[in-house]
Structure 1
């Protein structure tokens, strides 16, 4: 049997194609199914089964469309209520596809009805386990996505689910999770690119801690939930529409200027330094080249708001569209392609300075009352920050812009990515941002190296 990993780095997820005897099985596919179809063609397999470990909270599935396109069975956990025909996958069921068998294990925790799939050959020899959002590499899936009233119950369930996997499977069984590669569906940071059940028994908190310690630490470590997650579960239960990856309608410079003047959401996809050097006034900078692009567009943009993309090339816009459809941002208002100078059509461009933590230290030495904005999450801020800085997490900034004083504002985050988004928002709101472009924790160039890091009690 061959197991191919289909990476979706922008969401921190993996899907899988299992091939044997000319037959394919797909686990937890993303919505842009052309990648899966191309891989199946390369492997020369007919996809006979598509299986979901759970109704996903971080993306719209491609499973329904894929199964309908290729005529495959579509397995979804039996306990989930959905609006389409499916093969209900219940604990103990064995799903057959060619020489492959998938034994269903109910592993609640990430959701109530979450299942894992144990892959065996026709003789029953275990080949691998696909754990979805249950057992991750050195962690588990978060347990607060269904609703806060269920978090405690699901966290206890997660503990027992991970232990069930270890109790029932050989130690050498390869583990293939769907989450945990940067996904906000992971309860705590994960580690490693591959693992086995035996290795997890030695390192996974659910297997090295007592139950209450595990529960307390997992709940205490839960971070903010991206706003767009609330739309994914209902969308997956209803059944996502077929994906559309066509190019958005072209927007000319005059129409683009009108949208910017009206305060519409216009996203510039270029790098943060290119954006800072010159951009259309009122545009927002979400750098496409960074894996977090779709996470922060989905988190910050009002859901359903008209969105216009600005890119240097058609490919850049096409890549952004692919990222966005994965979370259901389908109806783009259009796209403008070209340099900012060409798209400005004679109008003056905006710009803002770029510095680093050393530059920030020098600026604070000259003016101790300088306004400094920390755009990191609460859990990052809990480890300390720049002394005297104003802390507003990036996902809260749209509703708290009035808390940022007028005038010059130096803004930083963990890497510079979120700081650039924040800087563009501040500029649109009439502030004069300075982007601190650097990694906060870098031992050579970060905040501590510049003498700026303060412990939580003194920030």
Structure 2
């Protein structure tokens, strides 16, 4: 199993390349897709899935182009309604990738379709979560953006969804799980993000103000 964080400093954005036994998943790809294809070719692997943690407002995703070039399936979380070919995951749906699995955990709050992807290693052990804009290192996602798209959603409602997502879906997970967010310090998606680009969930439970009881 290989996990590579592809971090773009000017956007404070993390995309992810995951490979297992000749199959690849890309999480939150940037617009320019050739580097992902080149890496898969180098690994003698095929890109099988493109996971989107949510609809992005601060950069253009390369998911559609990457899917067209590779035949990979684009995955979004529940409630997403894109106007292009995609698979809408159900909460708890499991996707096989080589010798590992990736489980979709619906974590609304930043946006309503926001989804965290839980990676289990070759032994079936919870190994990492790719949290998008739900949980950052040092902060959590803003709950005031999606209301601009749906007037029925207030920031108070979104904050309530986010609170439940964090406490019911993410915080019960094991402390040694690695947290890989979509953004770091410098992004407008949070206010207190660390310059670190990943951390253990246990440490975030200790130091992240938004996870404090």
Please tell me the root mean square deviation across aligned C-alpha atoms, in Å.
1.6
Query: Is 2:151 the counterpart of 1:155?
Result: no
Aligned to 1:196: 200
How far the C-alpha of 1:123 sits from its partner, in A, is 4.4
Contact 1:13–1:181 under 8 Å retained in 2 = no
Aligned to 2:58: 58
Q: Give the SS at the match of 1:80.
A: coil
Contact 2:100–2:124 under 8 Å retained in 1 = no
Which segments of structure 1 move beyond 3 Å, counting only runs of 4 or more? none
Give the alignment of 1:15-26 within 5 angstroms. Answer: 15-26=15-26
Aligned to 1:126: 126
Q: Give the SS at the match of 1:64.
A: helix
Aligned-partner Cα distance in 1 for 2:30–2:194: 21
Match of 1:166 among 168, 171, 175: 171
Please identify which structure carries the higher strand content. 2
> Alpha-carbon deviations, 1:406-451, whole Å to 9, x = none?
xxxxxxxxxxxxxxxxxxxxxxxxxxxxxxxxxxxxxxxxxxxxxx
> Alpha-carbon deviations, 1:143-201, whole Å to 9, x = none?
1111265211111222222223011x211001101122321112433342320110111
CA gap of 1:78–1:161, structure 2 versus 1, over 3 A, is closer
Aligned-partner Cα distance in 2 for 1:27–1:41: 17
Give the alignment of 1:69-80 within 5 angstroms. Answer: 69-80=69-80
Aligned to 2:36: 36
Please identify which structure carries the higher helix content. 1
> Alpha-carbon deviations, 1:250-278, whole Å to 9, x = none?
xxxxxxxxxxxxxxxxxxxxxxxxxxxxx
User: Greater CA radius of gyration, 1 or 2?
Assistant: 1
Unaligned runs of 5+ in 2: none
- TM-score, normalization by structure 2: 0.91
Aligned-partner Cα distance in 1 for 2:89–2:122: 19
Which gives a bigger RCO, structure 1 or 2 (Cα 8 Å, sep 6+)? 2
How far the C-alpha of 1:9 sits from its partner, in A, is 1.4
- TM-score, normalization by structure 1: 0.44
Aligned to 1:215: none
Q: Give the SS at the match of 1:105.
A: strand
Contact 1:141–1:179 under 8 Å retained in 2 = no
> Alpha-carbon deviations, 1:253-304, whole Å to 9, x = none?
xxxxxxxxxxxxxxxxxxxxxxxxxxxxxxxxxxxxxxxxxxxxxxxxxxxx
Match of 2:184 among 180, 185, 188: 180
